[in-house]
Every structure is written in structure tokens, then in C-alpha cells.
Amino acid sequence: MTTSSSIGRRQFLTGALTTAAAVATPGLLAGCGGDGGPTGGGNNQASGSVRLPNYTPYTGVTPDLRGNPQGLLDAFLKYPEPAVRATNSAPGDGGPVSAFVLTNSPVPPALGQNPFWQELNKRLGVDLRLTIVPNPDMPTKFATLVAGDDLPDLIVPALYTPNGLPAGTANLPAWLAAKCQDLTPYLSGGAVDEYPFLANLPTESWRDCRYNGGIYGLPVPRGVGGTMMMRRDDLFTQLGANPQPKSFAEFREVCRKVTDARANRWALASSPLDFIRQMLGNPWRWRLEGGQLVSAYEGEEYKQALADAAQLVKDGVVHPDSFSNNAPVKKWFNAGSALLISDRYTAWPQFFAENIAGPKFEIGGMRPPLHDGGGFAATWQAQATNNFTAFKKADEGRIRALLKVCNWLAAPFGTEEWLLRRYGVAGTHYNMRGGGPTLTQAGVSQTVLGIRYIVDAPDVIFVPGEPGATRRSYEYQASIIPTAIKDPTLGVFSDTWSRKSGQLGTIINDANNDILSGRKPVSAWDDIVKQWRNTGGDQCRTEFEDAIKNSGD
């Protein structure tokens, strides 16, 4: 749920995909499930009845800072040298493998002009045929793909995870059952041992692959550390500002202290609504009370957070351009125009890679204090799965061949395979500096094939060439994860949410922006919640409650 200044990228993408697919393929989507069939009615939900793959962690590489089963990720202060060779031969048989993937970067050069793609094909032993689609074009391209019924071997963006739940087509479970392969016989329980790198994927990440009583995809795992308030520690030190306020009042005070519009400097890149909600104990999306779900929007603490966040905007401590579309918030943070930004832990290394401040650049994490003081507030756990990839239906031999290729693509951090997949060929696409790989210009342009959205290794905490930054990121995660709260709807399915999450998100985000910018009073919120409930929020609630009862978790 994005509740600061604009609709989140994945939430917008999902709403558009859902609409486009439903318009383009009404017959297909309506005809996938029937009354009383194995994919009809109440069975159209993620199912806990299937046995998930056994978890067998990879032990070929030892982290410098070890994670834990609660969700703290392993951390590496440098990339292992020499990197571990984890496979003995190419997994493919020389034949073609097709995949439909997205990219958030400029589309890379085609195979004939892309040495990285050519080397990847060689190491995989396949002719990798990728349809790489820029994010803005995805709704139209995916609708065309589904309407034509000419699916590739591996299907990624249809099953994107918008802030928590798979989505992309109306009646997703029925579409999966009709068109995609049930992978249960190949992956459930000990069957996954044939693919050791897939067995190394965290159990939690597989929960989003459960549909119709089976396993219908491979996960792209992410850590559960969630969104955090990142702080420009170098500038906080320079300004003598308090890096860890103990209440909302102190937070407001420090925001006012570091803001100087004449110096083109503001405290916040965008409104800190979610940060304040955490201070107040407001849940991410839902709270489960006696078997009943209560929406975050229905709590009085949400209105209090709106009032507080609107006051900060009025104080002038939020960047004045933050409400514009596609505001370059990350550039403001790196430039020092904004000293605090809310982002996922995965942005930590990105900021260092794009650092323009030089060696003094330093980031820290600000924990949310209890609103009125007296300790730290609990943060929200993030979704353990970024997305998952479905397989087009095929015979057993073909499915096993594709799983072997995907197993290679899931090779863990610290291996030669991971390094090649992410960074390419040493000396051509990257150079090792300070214990970490740094992309060359050829690496930047050629390696963005979108293959990490097919399947990925378990995430780790690693800032290339910055061991101190890696350690600080790890320590922040270690401080919040023991008390982080998991949303009760994670890992279960609501068809209404799948179809209407974009529309429901627009209602909330538009209202947030109106209130935060002063165009509407906080008192307007009650009517917004009624609209949200009537548009589909209450139906989502009912479906989620049923799914939770039947999840088996």
C-alpha cells in the first residue's frame, strides 16, 4: 500500500494489467473455471493444502554477518574471492527457452549486439528468447499476449505482486489452472532436492505460489525488512541534528531544524504518512481481531497520522514538488535536497551506486518512535516475494528441462553463476573494486535483461565496495525485525483484490494527496473509507477472511 504522495509502481501496474487483460480476453477468463469444478468457486484462492518445498540452505558460501530464521538476511562485507563455482556444466540442451519479462531500465541491445546475452546463453546451454517489455508498455503487451493465447515457456509480469498479493488477470487461480503447469509433483516436499538452488529459496517465499491446492510458480524472494526511513547521516552530522527522535514531536522538531528552503534543502522527500502510522501502531493494510479483519483505514490512528503528516506539509519541511507525478525523490536524496526518504532496504546499495556526494556520503536508518514517546514502534514486515513465474503447460520432460535452467538462474550470492547473471563478464561488464563489482557502461546497458524476475537467489545485504554501509544496513535490519508485524493477508488470495487493487489504491491515494496538500480536511476521510468499502474493500475483507481460515498456515 502506497500512501505517501502517489500510487506505487506495482500497484498501478497491477490495476492496468487487470483491466487490460479482462477487456482483451473476457471469454478466456470467464471460461477458465466452472461451478463445482476443481478451480471454481471457493477453490479460487491460494491453498495451504499443498506441501511446500523442503528448505535446504546452500552452505557453499559463509556470510560475514549471519541472518536468522525470523527474516534477518545474511550480510557480506565483500564478494567472496575467488567466487565459488557452484555448477559443473550448462543446464540446458541447446534448445530455445522463451520468457516474457519486464524491465525498468532502457531496453538492452538485442542478442546479436549483446555479448552479455550471448555469454549467458553459452553458460545456460540454451537459446534464451526474451520478450523484454518496458514497464509503461506492460499492460498493453500483456493483454495482447493473453488474448493471442501464444504463451512463452515462462510467464513473469502477469503474476506481479502489487504490495503483497499476486494479481494480473481476473480470476487468477482459474487462469493458472487452465493455462499453466502445476509444479507440485516436481517441487513439493523432497522433490525439490533435484534442484538444490530452488531448495535454497526460503519457505516463506513459496507461499505466494500456492493456488488450486498446488504450486503454480517459482518465487523471486525478497527480505521482509520492509520500507524504512533512510537518513543522510553525513548531512545530519554536519547540521548537528538529532538522528533518532523519541516521539512525533521530536521528529517534527528535527524536520524543521534541517529544512532550509533558501539552501534548497528540505527534511523529507515525500510525506512521511506511513512512518507516522507506524508510530501510532496502525497496521500496514489489515489487523486480525478475533478472526475478523479490520482495515488500517478504519482506525482513528489513520486519521491522526493524516493530520500529523498534513501539518508537516504545512510546516514546509516536505519537498514542495513531492506531489508531482514521478517526482525524482531518489535524486533529491542523493543530492542532499531531501535528508529523509522512505524506501525499501534494497535501495540502500542503489543510493551508494548513484552517490554524487563523494566519500563523505553516509546513510542511516531512523526507527519510528512511539508517537508520544517511551520507546520504539513496531515496523511492518514486507512481502517475502517480489513476484512469481508461472510455466506454460508442457510434458514432463520439458518441465524438468525448464526447472534445470531456472535452478541455475537461482544460484546463490557468492557463486560465479550469481556474479555472471547479475554483473556479466569481468573486465567487460564489471570490475572488482574494494571487494565489490562495479558495472562498466557496457554492463549497465547489456545486463538488464529482466532475468532476475524469472527466479532469483535469496536476497542478501551487500553494498559493493562499502563494508561499513553493509554493516549499518544489517544492524538496522537486526534492530527492527524481531518486533516487525506481518500483515495477516500476506500469502492468501482475494479475487476482488486481484482485480480491484489498482482502483481501490487510487481512491486512497487521491484522498491522501488531497488531505496532505490541504485541499480537503481530515474530516473528509470517513466518507473516503465508505467509498473504499463500497467499491470493493468489504468484499476483499470477506474473501481474505475466508482464505485465512482455509490457508492451513
Tell me how far apart the alpha carbons of residues 292 and 329 are, in angstroms, rounded to a whole number. 37
- pLDDT tens digits for 355-369? 999 999 999 999 999
Instruction: Sort strands 96-103 and 154-155 into parallel, antiparallel or unpaired.
Output: parallel
Check if the beta carbon of residue 194 is closer than 8 Å to that of residue 201.
no
pLDDT for residue 228:
94
DSSP class of 338: E
Q: Which grid cell is 87?
A: 555448477
b/e 24-62 (16+ beta carbons within 10 angstroms → b): bbeebbeebbeeeeebbeebbbbbbebebbeeeebeebe
Single pTM value for the model: 0.88
Cβ within 8 Å of residue 524, ≥6 positions away? 511, 514, 515
Backbone angles phi, psi at 533, to 5 degrees: -65, -45
Write down the pLDDT at residue 27: 28
For residues 401, 402, 408 and 411, what is the CA-based torsion angle, rounded to 10 degrees? -130
* Alpha helices (H) in 200-247, listed in sequence order: 203-206, 233-239
pLDDT at 172: 77
Alpha helices in 461-537 (DSSP H): 467-480, 495-516, 525-532
Query: Can you give the pLDDT at residue 395?
Result: 98
| Contact criterion met (CB below 8 Å) for 414 and 83 | yes
For residue 272, CA distances in Å to 160, 476, 507 come to 26, 19, 19
Per-residue pLDDT of the chain (553 residues), as tens digits, is: 333 333 333 333 333 333 333 333 322 322 233 222 222 233 334 555 799 999 999 999 999 999 998 999 999 999 999 999 999 999 999 999 999 998 888 999 999 999 999 999 999 999 999 999 887 787 778 778 777 778 999 998 545 443 333 344 567 788 889 999 999 999 999 999 999 999 999 999 999 899 899 999 999 999 998 899 999 999 999 999 999 999 999 999 999 999 999 999 999 999 999 999 999 999 999 999 998 999 999 999 999 999 999 999 999 999 999 999 889 999 999 999 999 999 999 999 999 999 999 999 999 999 999 999 999 999 999 989 888 999 999 999 999 999 999 999 999 999 999 999 999 999 999 999 999 999 999 999 999 999 999 999 999 999 999 999 999 999 999 999 999 999 999 888 888 888 888 899 999 999 999 999 999 999 999 999 999 999 999 999 999 999 998 876 6
Render pLDDT for 146-199 as a digit per residue (tens, 0 to 9). Answer: 777 789 999 985 454 433 333 445 677 888 899 999 999 999 999 999 999 999
CA torsion, points 40, 41, 44, 49, in degrees to nearest 10? Answer: -90
User: What pLDDT does residue 501 have?
Assistant: 85
Q: Which residues pair with 128 in a beta bridge?
A: 97
According to the model, what pLDDT value does residue 156 have? Answer: 82
